[in-house]
Chain A
Amino acid sequence: MLPAITPAIRLMPPARRALAALAALALAAAMVLSAPLSALALDTAKCTARPNGNTGSEVYGGSETRLTWEGQADADEPVAGLSITFPAGTTFSTDDARLTMLSGEKLMDRTTIDAQLASDGETFIATFDEPLPAGAYVRAEIYEVTFPTSGGEMPIKGTYTLEDGTTMPVEDITPIMVEGVSPVDQLSKALEESDWVKAWNSNKFLRLFFNPSIVVSSFPIVFQGFLMAVAIVAVAFPIAIPIGLCLSLMRMARLRLLRGIASLYVNVVRGTPLFLQIYIAFFGLPLAGIQIPSFPLGVVVLSMNSAAYLCEIFRAGIQSIPAGQTEAARSLGMNGAQTMIFVIIPQTVRRVIPTMTSEFILLYKDTSMLAAVGVMEVVMYAKTIVASTGSITPYIVAACFYLVITLPLAKVVGRLEHRLAGGRPRRKHRPGAAKPLQGTDSAGVTAYVTDALTSQPVIKNDTADAGR
């Protein structure tokens, strides 16, 4: 069908152009004879289409947009009508269309132009009730413009009519770049029109929370945010661990100053909301002349925050190791650092893994707060779609992206806790005795093992007695 129509349309503009050229020539001749010269043109100041994607500046085919055209008439041209021709396959509506004349030094004074609006399929025709004053600046806004789904460069043509009835082409209209419709959007559109979705959406609750077409269209967009959130947490958490460990060692240090610094930091960070910390970092630091891009800054804020919590987790873990462990290690000739590295910390790690995983879950969820300062993560993308569609569905999609990570991890935490509490699975893996603790050999002492479940030290090697 389309190819059949296209040639017909293609034929029209040249005909019109020829007519316009003829008219222009005639008029020019008349002008030369009569009075001052003029350039005779309605120059396009701008011609744009409103972005109609869920985010970003792109104009997509297949969904509605608004075309805004603005042009400046020559000083002696009283414009009486305007027509704008869209490329084949484009639909539009004359409803809601607005014609405005802008005047004043900065073009800040608006006058609505009363006009008769008509459409012949691909051309929007406005005939003004009264010709405008010569040299007017005109804006036309046309709603419900739908470009073809294939996208590409969309040439827009226009003509204008003067008071005396001459019609001339509007010059310099830059074509509008239209993005083709992605398969996802096509699917979303198809869903929107299918019967079961219509039936589903007739229920207000289902429409607002689980609109299938919005689920489909928001999925790839929110997914970008998901990648961002995962990237943030994947960088922030590994940074937070060593900082947290250092802080916990500082908190247990003999030196009062170190203890003071660490506990001040931990108490301040844990005692203030993360939201506030983000605001201070994002709006405060730049004021102090420190410019950091938002991704690294977000990572830094989150890892600094998480470090304070991890510090307390590690401290609790280390302090939960019975004093006998330290005493035994020291009595075997290890110095303080060796005791910490080879005896205490390995035991601590097993104990704190469940709590650390919980902290990871918290940190992952906290990335959502960066939305408030413009970091494009899950909630931020969901929010922009909610704002443009008025449906809560994108938030539900966003929730799924959090659950994808948090649910399996919560399961892991549960299992680890079960094992720590002396759960059964451990017995299966236990052939005879507990595994020897790694690293003890390098300390050059007797193999010294610990049952991770009970943290009761077990002397595995009988030669230990012999050594006494």
Chain B
Amino acid sequence: MKMKKWGVLAVSAAMVAALGLFGCSGGNDAKPADDKKAEEPKTEAPAEVTLMKDGTLTIVSSPDYPPFENLENGEIVGFEVDLFNAIADKMGLELEIVPLQFDAIIPAIAAGGQGDVGVSGFSVDPDRAKEIDFTESFYIDDQAVAVMDSSSITEDNAAEALNQADVIIAVQTGTTGETFAQENFPNATIQGYGNSTDCFAAMQSGNATAVCTNLAVVNRMLKDAYSDARVVLEIATGEEYAAVVSQDNPELTKQLNEAIKALKDDGTLEELTQKWF
């Protein structure tokens, strides 16, 4: 009696699972070519941009990264927001911003369904490029390390003083700042946080010795909120900022690149850079 019940349950569960899988695989097989390479899946329908919502460019962003994007009076503002408003204008689309934690954005864009473009101060990186496509870059930034004023670490000894076992460096998970800190300060503890504001809060509260993130962000954070902290190390990593697009959507990347190029040519990009940095 009991055995039978279990059997029925197992069989029905298996069937539901199988149905689910078939449903998904069917939906997916239709789109990309059967090839394992996802790079150029859509050869049959070239000039068509797939957008999540018709007429709307949905960008996914982690609004904790001033001056690129952050929340001000409940609204997401920043350099990249302005830039993508201009880009959407150029493309004749409405702009919609979906907030998402930084380290979830690339997986979300790769998987699709949450947005069309990931715009959150992404540095162009060949490793990342395996999962998603980058647009043309629109800003170049460097890394920086900040500590509280009370810290004994100074500009002169920063390179060695940060690479000590008792040093905790707060970083935002999934950022180039995280890998930079891991690579260059292997002896220190690299503590990951979900967003960059938490990194600074952790440093201020003494949970971390230093914060390592992009220079423009450090400068803005110190200026706006953490006047009792200072920059001890700047490294010219020359990271190019770009937006990320799913590899299944090369046409969108192409159109975004055209729009970015047009904005570079007509001076809008320069204007926005002046405004925000």
Residue positions of A touching B, CB distance < 8 A: 46, 48-51, 56-57, 64, 66, 68, 95-96, 100, 102, 106-110, 143-144, 198, 201-206, 208, 282-287, 291, 294, 371-374, 380, 383-384, 386-392
Contacts and interface: CB of A to CB of B under 8 A. Distances in A.
Interface residues of B, number: 45
A291 B206 contact: yes
A390 B107 contact: yes
Interface string B16-27: 000001001100
A57 B182 contact: yes
Contacts of A283: 198, 201-202, 205, 207
A80 B142 CA distance: 26
Interface in B213-242: 234, 236, 238
B181 to A, nearest CB: 8
B198 A56 contact: no
Given A108-B236, A287-B205, A372-B198, A388 B182 contact: no
B103 A387 contact: yes
A205 B24 contact: yes
Interface string B194-217: 100010011011110000000000
Given A48-B184, A107-B236, A108-B236, A384 B192 contact: yes
A283 B170 CA distance: 13
Interface of B: 21, 24-25, 28-29, 32, 34, 36, 103-104, 106-107, 110-111, 126-128, 131-132, 140, 142, 170, 173-174, 179, 182-186, 190-194, 198, 201-202, 204-207, 234, 236, 238
Given A64-B127, A202-B36, A50 B103 contact: no
Contacts of A285: 205
Interface centre among A206, A294, A387 (most CB of B within 10 A): A387
Given A143-B126, A374-B192, A203 B103 contact: no
Contacts of B198: 283, 372-373
24 contacts: A50-B179, A57-B183, A57-B185, A57-B190, A66-B126, A66-B127, A108-B236, A205-B28, A283-B202, A283-B205, A284-B205, A291-B206, A371-B194, A372-B194, A372-B198, A374-B202, A380-B192, A383-B173, A383-B192, A384-B173, A387-B106, A387-B174, A388-B174, A390-B132
Contacts of A108: 142, 234, 236
